[in-house]
Structure formats: C-alpha cells, structure tokens
C-alpha cells in the first residue's frame, strides 16, 4: 500500500502545476484552486489505490478538482454574496487575450514571479504552485520557520487577489523584462540547491532538480527564447557536475573534480543547448554563462581547459553585466591565463568584502603566490563568511595545508 | 475594474520651488503632469487627482473622545510625506503600474500604488 501512496503522490506532484494553473484560470482564485487540488489528491489516494492510476491521471485530477471547486463555490454562494459576485465576474468575462503563448502554467509562472511581489515570495510561490512542494518543504529548503514561510505565501496570495495581479502572459513588448524576472527566480532556486546555506546537506538535489524541471517546462512553452535555452543549458551543465562536487562532506573545486563522475547525458544536452543559442545569435547573460560551463565541461582534464575562451566569454558578459561578481569570476579565469599576480590585482579592487567567494578567491591566489600569512587571513575571512558546510570544510583543509 | 491610489511621496519640507531644484524644473514637471492628467481622462482611467499643500499645513483631529482633540502637524512626523495623488480606475495591477511609471516620470517623484478595498 505504501508503494501505491508513493505512486499517487508522484503522479500528483508531476501534474500539480498544470492542475493548479488550469484551476486558477477557471476560478480566478488561487486559494480555491489549491483547496480543490488538495481534495482531488485525497480522492485520488482513495480511488487509485483500489482501481489503479487511470490512463489520463491529469485529466482525472482536473475533472475531480473542478467538481470540488464548484461544490465549494456553491456552498459559499449561500453565505458570501461578494465572493459569488467575484466568481461570476471571472466566469462571465469573455476570455481575455492571454498573450503570445497559450498555457495556463506559463501564466501562473508570470503571476508567481510578478515584480510587485517580494523576491523571496516569488521563489516560494513558484515552488508551491508550480513545483507542488509543500509549505514545510519550502520552509525547510530555505531554513525559515514553517510559520514564517506560510505567512509569506499567504501575504503574497492576498496581494495577488487584492491588487489584482493579472493572470496573463505579458505582452510581447514587456516579455523580455518580465521573463528575466522569471529566469532569475529559477536560477535562485537552483543556486540555493547547489550551494545550500545552513548546517544541513551542502547540496539540496530536490531544489536543483525542481529548478531544472520548471526551466524545462518554460522552454517547452517559450522555445524561441534563447535566454530560456541558455538558462537550461547553464543549469544542466552545472547539475552534471553535482555528484563530483562534494566528497566526504568537502567541496571539490572544479580542477580537482573526477571528471569521470560527471553526468555525460546532461553535458551532451547542455552542449546542444549552447550550440542552439550560438546559432540564434542573440546573446544574453544565461547563454554566456552556459557557454562558459560548456568550455569547462568540454575539457577532458582541468589543464586542457581553453582559458582564453573562458576569459573572452567573461569579457562579453561584462559588457552586459558589469558587476563586481562577474569581474571576480573573470579574474579566476585570468589567473589561469596570466598568473595569480595579475588576477590578485584585479580581485583586490573589487568592493566585495562581504562576499565569501571574494575572500576564498583571494586566499587561493595568495596561497599560489606563496604569501601564506595573508592567505591564512583570507581563508579565515572566507570561512567566516560562508554558510555552506562543504565549502567551509574545503576552506579549512586548504588553510590547514598552508606552510 | 479596480480603483488604485497612486500616491506621490516626497520631502516633507519644501523649498522655494516645491520639491524641485529650480523654477524651470518645477514648470516642466507641472506641464508633464498636466499632460499625463489629460491622457488619464482621455483613456478613461481618471477618477480624481490633486496635489497637496505641505505636510506642515496638516491638522490631526481625534474625535473618538467626548470632545475632539485638535493637533497641529501631520499624523506621522517623517522626512517624507504624501505630496499628491491620483485615484485611477484600471483593469489590473499591470495597467496601474504602467500608469504609475508614467505619472512618476511626469511629476518626478516616486509613486506608491495601492488598491482600494472597495469604493463607496
């Protein structure tokens, strides 16, 4: 029976985003959609364990949840005329123009990532409504108390309803800007999984996996957008190295990783995506980051890496995004090409004293220059600034090896 | 349609040219705001709008007790204060945010967008 429950829950999880999105479109209310979806799950757990998962589970869930939502609205009709009026409004309204792409999930994603919502609320809503993660799961992933996360989500949903965040894909003219907000949320979800904060697991594969799954859906919906392909490429090329990136609880830096442990299927997929982006020739931030990762994953060993290509790509990225973090990453590549001294001069100029990677990079460059005392100080600062257990363990080891 | 308050916030203390650096700047902002108001009316979003006298002209009245208590000054003492506002009728938040951006550019101030719970 346990296996049966797990199977139902897996199907439910896979269908959840589509289910919620279609219910939100029909009923114009996220709470009604979530409640009806929850009731449909209970019904599925009962029914499917007896008679097996139906051939079209998504259709079954949608129909069942739709009936439950209508039942609830009928019940509320008697006691809440105002709600009923809202329901009539949504139901009688002629189907609005929904933007360039007709898909409920895409519309829901643009609601969840609306710029009028706080960034942390965007991430939480996306994981809740499209990813189907539970509130406790999201709270755990972001290390906040469950109650805080529940409040964050409730407040965001209230704002969506009260301020009337529209349920549609932005017009073509607004799409690039709004899309970059959606991509940023997916990238943040991935990064939190890849370099998890807190004392728990250094990597949270459920978050990296979920970010990739949602980005794949986004790519199906917007196949013509090179930045979507770029983000997907970046995520799969990064995910491909996940297993090799932590050993015995310690972070393994790129040049020390066992490349036989990299996921070849993901690398092949990522390289295909990068080639596709190059052919489109409308470069963007994620496409360039994906290309940099393609160069790394193309090299049979660390010394084979085409560093001049990496630096050239960072130069291109700097034109789009002249931020100190990009400059820091560029300097890491410069160190391989022109030596640590040149790189250190670049790094020392950056206003990133609060950023663990700045201290870690300085520590490494100082170590390579034989300036052990300064390196030790920099390692201390990096260890103090990092929130990831595996990175802390790695930095402590490197500090211990200083002579 | 939903009613939104577009509230313009700016320094509570105003100089010779209001919140603006010079007479020219002030006149440009007034002209741009006038044009924006005309557009709101022409496009059917207009409900009401107005600029307010400085916060120092405000009076707070508490009528909850037996006799009303009248106090000089704004309710909240702050460096920033409400300087003016629009009330618009818009189909959704995206439209309201777009209009707020235009209004902000016209009057040269930050605009807070807030939906009305309802309208009497």
Q: How confident is the model at residue A102 (pLDDT cuts 50, 70, 90)?
A: low
CB atoms within 10 A of CB A13: 15
Each residue of A316-337: pLDDT tens digit? 999 999 999 999 999 999 999 9
A220 pLDDT more than 50: yes
Quickly tell me which residue has 């700045």 as its tokens.
A358
For residue A81, the model assigns a pLDDT of: 62
Looking at A38, A69, A94, the residue that finishes a domain is A94
Distances (CA, A) of B112 to A110, A191, A254, B86, B88: 22, 32, 47, 10, 13
Question: Which chain A residue has its CA at the smallest distance from B90's CA?
Answer: A164
Q: Which pair of tokens denotes residue A4?
A: 């049966």
Q: What is the overall mean pLDDT for chain A?
A: 89
Between A8 and A4, the higher pLDDT residue:
A8
Question: For residue A100, is pLDDT > 80?
Answer: no
Residue A343 forms part of a structural domain: yes
Indicate the residue among A38, A71, A94 that finishes a domain.
Answer: A94
Range of the domain at A365: 306-403
Query: Residues A110, A182: contact at Cβ < 8 Å?
Result: yes
Beta-strand (E) ranges in B1-120?
A: 2-11, 46-51, 59-62, 69-72, 80-90, 110-115
SS3 sequence, chain A? CHHHHHHHHHHHHHHHHHHHHHHHHHHCCHHHHHHHHHHHHHHHHHHHHHHCCCCCHHHHHHHHHHHHHHHHHHHHHHHCHHHHHHHHHHHHCCCCCCCCCCCHHHHHHHHHCCCCCCHHHHHHHHHHHHCCCCHHHHHHHCCCCHHHHHHHHHHHHHHHHHCCCCCCCCCCCCHHHHHHHHHHHHHHHHHHHHCCCECCCCCCHHHHHHHHHHHHHHHHHCCCCHHHHHHHHHHHHHHCCHHHHEECCEECCHHHCCHHHCCHHHHHHHHHHHHHHHHHCCCCHHHHHHHHHHHHHHCCCHHHCCHHHHHHHHHHHHHHCCCHHHHHHHHHHHHHHHCHHHHHHHHHCCCCCCCHHHHHHHHHHHHHCCCHHHHHHHHHHHHHHCCEHHHHHHHHHHHHHCC
pLDDT of A382-395, one tens digit each? 999 988 889 999 99
Round to whole Å and give the CA distance between A7 and B36. Answer: 58
Per-residue model confidence (pLDDT) at position A363: 97
What confidence score (pLDDT) does residue A283 get?
Answer: 94
Q: Is the pLDDT of residue B46 over 90?
A: yes
Contact B94 A166 (CB under 8 A): yes
What is the sign, positive or negative, of the torsion defined by CA atoms of B8, B14, B19, B23? positive
Q: What is the mean pLDDT of residues A46-59?
A: 88
Cβ neighbour number for residue A349 with a 10 Å cutoff: 11
Tally of structural domains, chain A:
2
Do the domain assignments include residue A321?
yes
pLDDT at A183 over 90: yes
Chain A within 8 Å of B47 (Cβ-Cβ)? no
pLDDT score recorded for residue A359? 97
What per-residue confidence (pLDDT) applies to A282?
A: 95
How confident is the prediction for chain B on average, in pLDDT? 92
A164 in contact with chain B, both atoms CB, cutoff 8 A: yes
Most confident of A13-27, A106-120, A262-276, B44-58: A262-276
Percent of chain B at pLDDT exceeding 70 = 99
Residue B16: per-residue pLDDT: 82
Contact A163 B115 (CB under 8 A): yes
- Residue A9 inside a domain? The answer is yes
Whether pLDDT at A255 is above 70: yes
Q: Does B1 touch chain A (CB under 8 A)?
A: no
Show the domains of chain B with their CATH numbers: 2-115 (3.30.70.1060)
Q: Would the pTM of this model clear 0.90, i.e. be above it? A: no
Q: Which residues lie across from B113 on neighbouring strands? A: B6
The ipTM is 0.86
Q: Rounded CA gap, A193 and A186, in Å?
A: 11
Output the pLDDT for position A231.
98
User: Residue A365 belongs to a domain with what CATH number?
Assistant: 1.25.40.10
pLDDT at residue number A92: 40
In a domain, A157, yes or no: no
**pLDDT of A82:** 57
Q: What is the rounded distance in angstroms from the CA atom of residue A39 to the CA atom of residue A37?
A: 5
Interface probe with A: pick from B94, B101, B113, most Cβ of A within 10 Å: B94
Res. A98: pLDDT tops 50 = no
- CA nearest to B97 within chain A: A116
Query: Closest residue of A to B115, CA-based?
Result: A163
Q: Which residues of A touch B118 (CB under 8 A)?
A: none
Tell me if A55 is assigned to some domain.
Answer: yes
At residue B91 the predicted structure's pLDDT band, cuts being 50, 70 and 90, is: very high
β-bridge pairing A250-251 and A246-247: antiparallel
Q: What is the DSSP letter of B55?
A: G
Residue with tokens 């997916």, as numbered in its chain? A186
Residue A1 placed within a domain: yes
Residue A85 has pLDDT above 60, yes or no: no
What does residue B53 show for φ and ψ, rounded to 5 degrees?
-65, 160
pLDDT at A1: 41
B2 and A CB contact within 8 Å: yes
Does A94 have pLDDT greater than 80? no
The verdict on B91 touching A (C-beta cutoff 8 Å) is: yes
What phi and psi, each to the nearest 5 degrees, are found at residue A301?
A: -145, 165
Q: Is residue A170 part of a domain?
A: no
Q: CB distance from B113 to chain A under 8 Å?
A: yes
Q: What is the Cα–Cα distance from A192 to A382, expressed in whole angstroms? A: 18
Q: Which of A163, A167, A170, A174 to mutate to test the interface with B (most CBs of B within 10 A)?
A: A163
Contact B90, B1 (CB under 8 A): yes
Best of B1, B93, B114 to mutate (most A CBs within 10 Å, chain A): B93
pLDDT of residue A196: 76
Q: Are A262 and A240 in contact (CB under 8 A)?
A: yes
Write the residue in A114, A164, A170 that is nearest to B115 by C-beta: A164
CA distance A32 to A100: 27
Kindly state the average pLDDT of the residues A95-111. 69
- Indicate yes or no: CB of B2 within 8 angstroms of CB of A164: yes
CA distances, A218 to each of A191, A222, A266, A293 (Å): 18, 6, 18, 21
**What is the mean pLDDT of the segment spanning A150-179?**
90
Q: Is residue A359 part of a domain?
A: yes
Query: How does residue B78 score in pLDDT terms, banded at 50, 70 and 90?
Result: confident
* Residue A197 banded pLDDT, cuts 50, 70, 90: confident
For A292-315, how does the pLDDT look when each residue is reduced to its tens digit (9 = 90+)? 999 999 999 999 999 999 999 999
Q: Which residues of A touch B91 (CB under 8 A)?
A: 164, 166
How many Å apart are CA A291 and CA A187, to the nearest integer? 16
> Bigger pLDDT: A55 or B39?
B39
Are residues A98 and A170 in contact, defined by beta-carbon separation less than 8 angstroms?
Answer: no
- In angstroms and rounded to an integer, the radius of gyration of the C-alpha atoms of chain A is 24
Search chain B and give the residue with CA nearest A89.
B1
What percent of chain A stands above pLDDT 70?
A: 93
B97 and A CB contact within 8 Å: yes
- The conformation of residue B114, written as its DSSP 8-state character, comes to E
Query: Distances in Å between the alpha carbon of A26 and those of A74, A87, A90, A310?
Result: 15, 9, 8, 48
Tell me whether residues B92 and A162 touch, CB distance under 8 A.
no
Percent of chain A with pLDDT over 90: 63
| Domain C-terminal end among A78, A94, A110 | A94
- How does residue A221 score in pLDDT terms, banded at 50, 70 and 90? confident
Tell me which H or E stretch contains B53.
none
């Amino acid at each position: 029976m346990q296996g049966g429950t797990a199977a139902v829950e897996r199907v439910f999880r896979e269908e959840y985003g589509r289910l919620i999105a279609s219910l939100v479109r029909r009923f114009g209310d996220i709470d009604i959609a979530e409640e009806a979806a929850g009731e449909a799950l209970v019904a599925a757990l009962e029914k499917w364990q007896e008679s097996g998962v139906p051939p079209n589970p998504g259709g079954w869930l949608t129909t069942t949840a739709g009936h439950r939502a209508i039942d609830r609205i009928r019940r509320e009709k008697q006691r809440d005329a105002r709600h009923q009026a809202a329901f009539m409004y949504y139901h009688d309204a002629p189907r609005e123009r929904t933007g360039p792409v007709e898909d409920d999930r895409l519309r829901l994603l643009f609601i969840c990532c609306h710029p009028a919502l706080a960034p942390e609320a965007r991430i939480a809503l996306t994981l809740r409504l499209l990813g189907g993660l539970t509130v406790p799961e999201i709270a755990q992933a972001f290390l906040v108390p469950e109650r805080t996360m529940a409040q964050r989500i409730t407040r965001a949903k209230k704002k969506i309803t009260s301020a009337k965040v529209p349920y549609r894909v932005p017009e073509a003219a607004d799409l690039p800007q709004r899309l970059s907000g959606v991509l940023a949320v997916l990238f943040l979800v991935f990064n939190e999984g890849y370099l998890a904060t807190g004392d728990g697991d250094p990597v949270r594969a459920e978050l990296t996996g979920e970010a990739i799954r949602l980005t794949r859906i986004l790519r199906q919906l917007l196949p013509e957008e090179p930045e979507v392909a770029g983000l997907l490429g970046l995520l799969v090329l990064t995910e491909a190295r996940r297993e090799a990136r932590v050993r015995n609880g310690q972070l393994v830096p790129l040049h020390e990783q066992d490349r036989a442990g990299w996921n070849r299927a993901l690398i092949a997929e990522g390289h295909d995506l990068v080639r596709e982006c190059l052919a489109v020739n409308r470069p963007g931030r994620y496409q360039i980051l994906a290309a940099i990762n393609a160069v790394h994953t193309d090299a049979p060993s660390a010394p084979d890496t085409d560093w001049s290509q990496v630096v050239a790509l960072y130069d291109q990225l700097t034109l789009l995004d002249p931020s100190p973090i990009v400059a820091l990453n560029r300097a890491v590549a410069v160190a391989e090409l022109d030596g640590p001294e040149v790189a250190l001069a670049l790094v020392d100029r950056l206003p990133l004293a609060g950023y663990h990677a700045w201290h870690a990079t300085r520590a490494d460059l100082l170590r390579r220059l034989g300036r052990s005392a300064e390196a030790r100080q920099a390692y201390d600062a990096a260890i103090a600034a990092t929130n990831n257990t595996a990175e802390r363990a790695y930095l402590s080891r490197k500090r211990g090896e200083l002579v | 349609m939903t009613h939104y308050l577009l509230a313009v916030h700016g320094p509570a203390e105003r100089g010779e040219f209001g919140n603006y650096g010079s007479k020219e700047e002030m006149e440009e902002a007034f002209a741009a705001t006038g044009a924006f108001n005309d557009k709101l009316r022409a496009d059917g979003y207009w409900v009401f709008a107005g600029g307010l006298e400085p916060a120092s002209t405000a009076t707070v009245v508490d009528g909850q007790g037996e006799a009303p208590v009248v106090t000089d000054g704004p309710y909240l003492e702050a460096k920033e204060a409400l300087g003016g506002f629009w009330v618009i009728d818009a189909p959704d938040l995206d439209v309201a945010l777009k209009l707020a951006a235009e209004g902000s550019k016209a009057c040269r101030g930050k605009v807070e967008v807030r939906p009305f719970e309802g309208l009497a």
